[in-house]
Structure 1
């Protein structure tokens, strides 16, 4: 599994699946995402090199911590926090979701375990800055707002990429807190995004991609990035990666694994970039 990267009991890369889609607002099923992503990263399909010829097997060793499930979101946050703190001592974490609400739990856990500040680079079709959604303040539609309002990240240290379904209310919140929104149209014109902070957590909602490239998502939004455009954005990033997640992959609506293979491509290129930046 995982592109031929060796398994280790003393790894520098941890995987953790989070089987949570309770806040999915349209198509449920992304709790099955971790299984599909693990299958799609098989060394039977991929070699260990990324596009820049970084041999991931030379830079990384990994341990899969399995999956977390919970009955309530509060319980989920506590379980993620406990698991991360038990293992973290500077290693890179890859979290497999699950809907986008899991990023609240994972970002919080890494911040508390590392005791360091870092920014958030948020790849998504949607800004996820509603004050609440369907009565839920911790819905996947509220993740960025919760992180900012609760002081887990400063607004000026948030960059959102690929946005194409905002509301006036969310744009106003972004302007008031210094959050930078890079639209899908801007990426179409140029994939290079300058990041104003040195260390970052990366969060990839698979619906940042156009449904032609990732049909298996909870909330598809046409007019999105191509897989090639997203890879070029990843290559352009100039921040050290402290952790990253892949969320909202919904295998129930995927077609012949297209979305899962796109997720695998994202992971492989991020691991290559992270190896260069560490």
Structure 2
């Protein structure tokens, strides 16, 4: 599989770098996130380079740094991935992380060291440990709060009782699906922005590990991406697999493009 379509800027000139992270070790329902980065690149092929809204060209801004090949030791892999992403930050490029399971976000957070964690997701992901694994995909927001001062979780519609109790604390804001369209960023500081593709209703993105009905429409997700991007210092889109006809991958790729254009224009 080639690079992300249009990500043709040289590494030295690029302001953004696509980085694939095909980790797939803790998915609990439908595995396949190891195919996510290639799937997103494949279904981004029809996208135009030029963005009429901002007047910018993707190819002027973005390079594709390829995949950071994954192995089955998540802790070791995340440490290595953190180093790769930190190199991009050091060189002035914003990493655009393509998962892979949501666990890869932990590396993105460590490298960016944000003030706020903002996430589009169907799930709270506030488990301290899930199925005996403290680095499972369902623990990401818990780890985020070890780094960021607060978490804003958008589109959430499911979680355990213990997670909802944790979400009631002052450092977590949950915006349920019906309220997301009217939400505007009201936080201070720099954000790390994560898009779990299962935030979308499964009718729009069935190719994901743990789909949950009553989710978001793509236009609502796009509006959130455009609103948050100017304050973001890192971005990922995760949990895409190969179990549909490209709907999830196409949405993920387009949201990545929208992030780039909105961030560059912000």
Q: TM-score, normalised by structure 1?
A: 0.87
Match of 2:147 in 1: 152
The 1-side partners of 2:201 and 2:153 are apart by 16
1:163-242 matches, within 5 Å, as: 163-187=156-180, 190-237=181-228, 239-242=230-233
- Within the candidate set 11, 14, 36, 2:39 is matched to 36
Alignment pair present for 1:67 and 2:68 = yes
Note the residue ranges of structure 2 that are not aligned, 5 or more in a row. none
SS where residue 17 of structure 1 aligns?
strand
Tell me by how many angstroms 1:48 deviates: 1.7
Match of 1:243 in 2: 234
Alignment pair present for 1:127 and 2:124 = yes
SS where residue 141 of structure 1 aligns?
helix
Alignment pair present for 1:268 and 2:257 = yes
The 2-side partners of 1:238 and 1:41 are apart by 20
Tell me by how many angstroms 1:77 deviates: 1.4
Tell me by how many angstroms 1:221 deviates: 0.3
Q: Does structure 1 conserve the Cα–Cα contact (< 8 Å) formed by 2:9 and 2:61?
A: no
Q: Does structure 2 conserve the Cα–Cα contact (< 8 Å) formed by 1:98 and 1:248?
A: yes
The 2-side partners of 1:88 and 1:177 are apart by 30
Tell me by how many angstroms 1:239 deviates: 4.3
Note the alpha carbon deviations across 1:66-106, whole angstroms, 9 max, x for none.
33212301211121122123333231110111111111122
Note the residue ranges of structure 1 that are not aligned, 5 or more in a row. 112-116
SS where residue 131 of structure 2 aligns?
coil
Equivalent residue pairs, number: 262
The 1-side partners of 2:61 and 2:25 are apart by 33
SS where residue 223 of structure 1 aligns?
coil
Tell me by how many angstroms 1:170 deviates: 1.2
Q: Does structure 2 conserve the Cα–Cα contact (< 8 Å) formed by 1:130 and 1:141?
A: yes
Q: Which moved more, 1:228-237 or 1:75-84?
A: 228-237
SS where residue 108 of structure 1 aligns?
helix
Q: Does structure 2 conserve the Cα–Cα contact (< 8 Å) formed by 1:95 and 1:246?
A: yes
Note the alpha carbon deviations across 1:240-266, whole angstroms, 9 max, x for none.
221111110011x11x21111111111
Pick closer, same or farther for the CA change 1:257–1:237 going to 2, 3 Å: same
Q: Does structure 1 conserve the Cα–Cα contact (< 8 Å) formed by 2:75 and 2:135?
A: no
Q: Does structure 2 conserve the Cα–Cα contact (< 8 Å) formed by 1:68 and 1:80?
A: no
Tell me by how many angstroms 1:238 deviates: 6.9
Q: TM-score, normalised by structure 2?
A: 0.91
Note the alpha carbon deviations across 1:136-168, whole angstroms, 9 max, x for none.
1111111111221xx3111xx311100011233
